[in-house]
Amino acid sequence: MNIISGGVTAAKGFTASGIHCGIRKNRSKKDLALIYSEKPASSAAVYTTNLVKGAPLTVTKANLTDGIAQAVICNSGNANTCNADGVEIAETMCRLTADALGIRASDVVVASTGVIGQPLCLDPIRAALPALASSLSVEGGRDAAEAILTTDTAVKEIAVEFLLGGKVCRLGGIAKGSGMIHPNMATMLVFLTTDAAVAPAMLQKALSSDVAETFNMVSVDGDTSTNDMVSILANGMAGNPVIDAEGEDFSTFMKALNTVTVWLCRKIAGDGEGATKLLECHVTGGKDATAAKTAAKSVICSSLLKAAMFGADANWGRVLCALGYSGADLDVNRVGVAFRSVKGSIEVCRNGAGVPFSEEKAKEILSEKEITVEVSLGDGEAEATAWGCDLTYDYVKINGDYRT
Amino acid sequence: MNIISGGVTAAKGFTASGIHCGIRKNRSKKDLALIYSEKPASSAAVYTTNLVKGAPLTVTKANLTDGIAQAVICNSGNANTCNADGVEIAETMCRLTADALGIRASDVVVASTGVIGQPLCLDPIRAALPALASSLSVEGGRDAAEAILTTDTAVKEIAVEFLLGGKVCRLGGIAKGSGMIHPNMATMLVFLTTDAAVAPAMLQKALSSDVAETFNMVSVDGDTSTNDMVSILANGMAGNPVIDAEGEDFSTFMKALNTVTVWLCRKIAGDGEGATKLLECHVTGGKDATAAKTAAKSVICSSLLKAAMFGADANWGRVLCALGYSGADLDVNRVGVAFRSVKGSIEVCRNGAGVPFSEEKAKEILSEKEITVEVSLGDGEAEATAWGCDLTYDYVKINGDYRT
């Protein structure tokens, strides 16, 4: 498993492009991305659990019923959600994309991110699609990665290379996390592509299983967006024997997928709104997977702990507090807590009670950009990891500012 | 039902006192409160649901097994939680209090609020108790209300007068909300007293039922403290016929209790850490009580909405988003949203989609200190109210500062 350069166009047969079409007022921000596969690809996706679902998700879900897709169209600047004609607009986006590419409208994945409840005007998209389609290229992967961003401070793209049945396969992805210019853009979008041959059902299985351990373990502010979506296209151009059942190849593919998704999770969490630090909570010794995951996620979601981490404060009482209200099946009197970063590790709590520690050393450890909260539950063998970020003045600033 | 002056000493037979004993370094902050009933009183309490429970809660729970209490001792500055000898210390606090008052140690309610995981030194409490006991008075109710505060910006006390069986009864209370000097003090403590005669079982029934609609519907930051407690003492000195079953008197008592608790909820929420505004979410048309409550609480807990309210931004998409992920049984396409304050009311969403509104008028309404988010679900008759506050720079500042 090697990490290679590139992102969504690293795999064979994929090209992409990204431009400013005019949905966003700032002309220096790209706002329309296109990803294209030379051949129709197996396709799978997972969607937000929010009852309020963006219209693009409804349309994508319908389009992926047959497990096949060939292109992804995504705009930023407007979520196309809670609008009366949202579904019609999302369908039209698919049709315009299909027309420009000469493919079927039902083979298009459509996604939008931006303000909720404001009509999305199709004119700039209609006008831009021919140019967007004609500028598709491998190098355009970077443009696409930029065009899906909102106030993310960094482009998020990664790709890996691996072998399946002796064939070199690649899997890459791009993501947008939770950063905002206009509020309500706190949507996580992830587009993955691979040239591995994977049957649609197995692709969905791999994605659903992976997302439960990766993107569903990321929290920036506890608000589940209406437009979250992770999708993957597998066009089979690597020439490996089609993966249509579990086995060694499926495991290899899952590992490649997980390498990409964990990397993107860390990028999304560390680039959360206003964040100055990536927080990782690693839970060991859980009674079962549910207990470990519930515990890890509760720690990452605690506003009090997030603010303490911003202040580099080794306030382990907040970790215990978050474990206590998490709902996880655990014994408080067995809990141990340590803080870790590149500067070292420091134990602060054992068996549910404090242990003496150097505040100075703790401060040094917590002043780093990537902090791991190590929690041992002492109840069993299950492990889980969750990712988040600190809570900062800038989070309030970004989200308190007026939309207009 | 008349609101009268005073708080925890408004009811007959109750006196209180509060002083600085030395647990907190700042000598101008009182840190030890005592409440005393001339006669042993029926008593009831509800406790945090956090698995990590402060030692004082364990001791109070044991002491209230017989439904009788005569005094409350409460310190601020140290939570006496996650300490190896916490229970022993809390028990000693009860014994020292009992000795000073000449009552039974098992008739003492003990509470602590402050840093988790730091040993609580008994010396200042031991030294102060004789003076605390000798200074008990009706006027001392205010001192007690001050001594339980942390960085609350306002004393929270209220009392009401009502009739039971022709007898004038009073019920009053004091509370501390979530304000911090040292982090981890985000504990809600409420002490209620009444001279109404209520059997312990009915008192517990009244309190448990009321708390589900009041204090459990308050959220400042989603973190459930390890030391939350609401307790009530009913000494019967009003001379009313003892309430030992449901009926008209019980209903009157419930109404008095609810008047006091709702008032305290609003004070606690509006004085949340760093808050500049009280947020109230009033949900109507819920399918059932659970749906209405779940929906109301989810709206109040949304960091994104809280930040928008700080910025006086009529960002109703965040209300829909919070309803959508709340888990409440509701139909998004029937949801209506309006914002209301003393400056008027403005409808922003109908049937799950936006309606045109004046941003200027919305800004004017949302610039007030008390904002109500009116949500209509259109599914039935159930209603619920939840209280919270905005998310501000000061919340981050208070909670990001180093403990020492």
Written as six digits, the tokens of B115 are 């840093």
Cross-chain Cβ contact B354/A310 below 8 Å: no
- Which of B51, B221, B401 comes nearest A303 by C-beta? B221
CB distance A230 to A64 below 8 Å:
no
Three-state secondary structure string covering A208-237: HHHHHHCHHHECCCCCCCCCCEEEEEECCC
SS3 A107: helix
Predicted pLDDT at A221: 64
A371 interaction partners in chain B (CB closer than 8 Å): none
A311, A315, A332 ranked by CB distance to B51: nearest: A332
Q: Does domain B278-400 match CATH 3.10.20.340?
A: yes
**Separation of alpha carbons A397 and A8, rounded Å:** 32
**Which of A320, A360, A377, A390 should one mutate to test binding to chain B, selecting the residue with the greatest count of B CBs within 10 A?**
A320
Closest CA to A218 of A263, A255, A285, A160: A263
Nearest C-alpha neighbor of B122 from the set B102, B95, B140: B95
Please list every residue in chain A whose beta carbon sits closer than 8 Å to the beta carbon of residue B313. Answer: 183, 400-403
Does B400 contact A311 at a Cβ distance shorter than 8 Å?
yes
CA-nearest residue to B324 within chain A is A51
On the 0-12 / 13-18 / 19+ scale of CB atoms within 10 A, A207 is buried
Rounded Cα distance between A373 and A319, Å, is 9
A325/B224 Cβ within 8 A: yes
pLDDT tens-digit readout, B301-342: 888 888 889 989 898 988 998 898 888 999 988 999 999 999
* Average pLDDT over all residues of chain B: 88
Cα distance between residue A60 and residue A9, in whole Å = 21
Q: B302: distance to nearest CA of chain A, Å? A: 6
Decide if B82 and A349 are in contact by the 8 Å CB cutoff.
yes
Q: Where are the alpha helices (DSSP H) in A81-122?
A: 86-101
In this structure, are residues A284 and A378 in contact, taking their beta carbons and an 8 Å threshold? no
Summarize pLDDT for B134-192 with one digit per residue, the tens: 999 999 999 999 999 877 778 989 999 999 999 999 999 998 876 433 333 346 777 88
Q: What is the DSSP secondary-structure string of B102-143? A: TS-GGGEEEEEEEESSSPPPSHHHHHHHHHHHHT-BSTHHHH
B2-269 architecture in CATH? 4-Layer Sandwich (3.60)
Partners of residue A170 on adjacent β-strands: A161
Q: Architecture of domain A2-270 in CATH?
A: 4-Layer Sandwich (3.60)
Task: Please list the helix, strand and coil fractions of chain A in percent, rounded to the nearest 5, in that order.
Answer: 35, 30, 35
The values of phi and psi at residue A106, to 5°, are -80, 0
List Cβ neighbours of A247 (8 Å cut-off, separation of 6 or more).
none
Closest Cα in chain A, distance from residue B124 (Å) = 22
Question: Strand B108-115 vs strand A382-389: parallel, antiparallel, or unpaired?
Answer: unpaired
Is B353 close to A84, i.e. CB distance below 8 A? yes
Find the residue in A nearest to B402 (Cα): A313
Distance from CA of B55 to the nearest CA of A (A): 12
Distance CA A88, CA A94 (A): 10
b vs e for B333-365, b when ≥16 Cβ sit within 10 Å of the residue's Cβ? Answer: eebbbbbbbebeebbbbeebbbeebeeeebbeb
Q: Are A170 and A179 in contact (CB under 8 A)?
A: no
Spatial separation of the C-alpha atoms in residues B386 and B216, rounded to whole Å: 8
User: Max CA-CA distance within chain B?
Assistant: 68
Q: Which of A15, A48, A92, A187 is catalytic?
A: A187
pLDDT of B404 > 80? The answer is no
Distance from CA of B386 to the nearest CA of A (A): 18
Residue type, A82: C
What is this structure's pTM? 0.76
Q: Å from B166 to nearest chain A CA?
A: 45
Domains of chain A, by residue range, sit at 2-270, 278-400
Asked if A183 lies within 8 A of B308 by C-beta distance, the reply is: yes
Sequence-separated contacts (24+) of A28-31 with Cβ below 8 Å? A29/A76, A29/A149, A29/A181, A30/A76, A30/A143, A30/A146, A30/A147, A30/A149, A31/A75, A31/A76, A31/A77, A31/A147
d(CA A104, CA B376): 41
Between CA A78 and CA A148 the distance in angstroms is 11
Q: Which two tokens stand for residue A383?
A: 């492990």
Dist. CA A34–CA A16, nearest whole Å: 5
**Cβ pair B115:A221 closer than 8 A:** no
* Helix A86-101 / helix A55-63 crossing angle, nearest 10 deg: 50
Among B212, B148, B211, which residue's Cα sits nearest to residue B175?
B148
ipTM of this predicted complex? 0.70
Q: Are B323 and B295 in contact (CB under 8 A)?
A: yes
Which chain A residues have a beta carbon less than 8 Å from that of B52?
A: 320-321, 323-324, 332, 352
What's the gap in Å between the CA of A307 and the closest CA on chain B? 5
Q: Report the pLDDT value the prediction gives residue A181, as an integer from 0 to 100.
A: 31
**Which member of A84, A223, A307 has the closest CB to residue B400?**
A307
pLDDT higher than threshold 70 for residue B392? yes
Please state, as a whole number, how many other Cβ atoms lie within 10 Å of the Cβ of residue B388.
31
Name which of B107, B146, B138, B140 is nearest B233 in CA terms: B107
Residue A393 exposed, middle or buried by CB count within 10 Å (0-12, 13-18, 19+)? middle
Q: For residues A99 and A59, what is the distance between their CA atoms, to the nearest angstrom?
A: 17
Residue in B221, B304, B402 closest to A304 by CB: B221
Cα distance between the two ends of chain B? 46
For A114, the closest chain B residue by CA position comes to: B317
Element spanning B267, H or E: helix B248-270
Question: CA B64, CA B69: separation in Å to the nearest integer?
Answer: 7
Which residues of chain A does B226 touch, with a Cβ-Cβ cutoff of 8 Å? 317, 320-321, 324
Cross-chain CB nearest to A52 (options B304, B312, B324):
B324
**How many other C-beta atoms lie within 10 A of the C-beta of residue A67?**
15
Strand arrangement, sheet containing A278-286: A353-354, A344-350, A336-341, A370-376, A278-286, A382-389
CB contact under 8 A, B324 and A226: yes
Which of B82, B116, B315 is nearest residue A184 as measured by Cβ atoms?
B315
> Using CA atoms, how far apart are residues B176 and B220, in angstroms rounded to an integer?
13
Other CB atoms within 10 Å distance of the CB of residue A255: 14
Yes or no, beta carbons of B353 and A325 under 8 Å apart: no
Q: A370 CA to chain B: closest CA distance, Å?
A: 17
Angle between helices A393-400 and B303-310 (to 10 degrees): 70
Q: What is the pLDDT of residue A261?
A: 87
Spatial strand order in the sheet of B382-389: B353-354, B344-350, B336-341, B370-376, B278-286, B382-389
Cβ neighbours of residue B357 closer than 8 Å, sequence gap 6 or more: B314, B346, B347, B348
- CB B318 within 8 Å of CB B325: no
pLDDT of B225 reads 67
CB contact under 8 A, B349 and A82: yes
Report the pLDDT value the prediction gives residue B261, as an integer from 0 to 100: 87
All residues of chain B having their beta carbon less than 8 Å from the beta carbon of residue A303 are: 221-223, 303, 395, 399
Whole-angstrom distance, CA of residue B57 vs CA of residue B49: 11
Other C-beta atoms lying within 10 Å of the C-beta of residue A131:
13
The answer to whether the CB atoms of A52 and B320 lie below 8 A apart is: yes
Instruction: Decide if B315 and A183 are in contact by the 8 Å CB cutoff.
Output: yes
C-alpha to C-alpha distance for A383 and B348, rounded to whole angstroms: 45
Nearest to A52 among B186, B312, B332 (CB): B332
Q: Please state the rounded mean pLDDT for residues B98-105.
A: 97
Out of A221, A223, A353, the one facing B82 most closely (by C-beta) is: A353
Contact between B138 and B9 (Cβ < 8 Å): yes
| CA separation, residue A227 to residues A57, A65, A268, B169, B329 (Å) | 7, 19, 16, 55, 20
Q: State whether residue B185 is helix, strand or coil.
A: coil
For chains A and B, count residue pairs whose Cβ atoms are closer than 8 Å. 211
State the Cα–Cα distance between residues A79 and A118, nearest whole angstrom: 8
Closest by CA to B404, choosing from B184, B90, B220, is B184
Catalytic (active site) residue A187: yes
pLDDT recorded at residue A1: 81
- HSE-CB for A387 with a 13 A CA cutoff: 23
Two structure tokens written together for B347: 């409808």
Residue partners of B356: CB distance under 8 A and separation at least 6: none
Q: What integer pLDDT is reported at residue A182 of this predicted model?
A: 33
- Please check the confidence at residue B387 and state whether its pLDDT lies above 50: yes
Per-residue pLDDT of chain A (404 residues; tens, 9 = 90+): 899 999 999 999 999 999 999 999 888 999 999 999 999 999 988 887 777 788 999 999 999 999 999 999 999 989 898 888 999 999 999 999 999 999 999 999 999 988 788 889 999 999 999 999 999 999 999 999 999 987 777 898 999 999 999 999 999 999 887 643 333 334 677 788 999 999 999 999 988 888 887 777 777 666 666 777 888 999 999 999 999 999 999 999 999 999 988 888 888 888 877 788 999 999 999 999 999 999 998 898 888 888 889 989 998 988 998 898 888 999 988 999 999 999 999 999 999 988 999 999 999 999 999 999 999 999 999 999 998 888 887 777 776 654 44
What tokens were used for B262? 């709702």
**Pairwise CB contact (< 8 Å): B301 & A222:** yes
Backbone angles phi, psi at B357, to 5 degrees: -150, 160
Q: Would you state the torsion angle of the CA atoms of residues A296, A299, A300, A304, taken in this order, to the nearest 10 degrees?
A: 180
Cβ of A52 and B399 within 8 Å?
A: no
Q: How far is A213 from chain B (nearest CA, A)?
A: 20
